[in-house]
Amino acid sequence: MQIYTYACTDCGSFDLMRPMARRDETASCPSCEQAGRRVFTAPHLGRLDPALDRAVTSAGRSSESPGVTRHVPAAAGPPSPPPRRPDLPPLPRP
């Protein structure tokens, strides 16, 4: 559910959480019960999860100035074999 801002003629603006399907309906003011109309505002980015905010900021920074590698990373060694499971029988050898 999303948070939408509505305006009451007597009390001013108020926020209301409701499903997207009901976003265009008028909402009654919590103080005076009059019908309020929806007001279009900037997204409520201040209410973002801090981890999501860091990810969005980092993605924006990397699109403007991507990082450049200065050296080739060291090659990884051969992959280690999977751990043995004593509860499973071994596969037959061809």
Parse the chain into domains and list their residue ranges: 2-40
Residue-level pLDDT at 2: 82
Q: Can you spell out the DSSP letters for 5-31?
A: EEEETTTEEEEEEE-GGGTTS-EE-TT
> Per-block average pLDDT, block size 10, for the chain (94 residues)?
86 88 86 88 70 81 74 83 83 82
Smallest CA-to-CA distance from 5 within 29, 54, 44, 38 is with: 38
Q: Where does 1-94 have alpha helices with state H?
A: 50-64
CA–CA gap between residue 2 and residue 41 (Å, rounded): 13
Tell me what pLDDT residue 85 has: 83
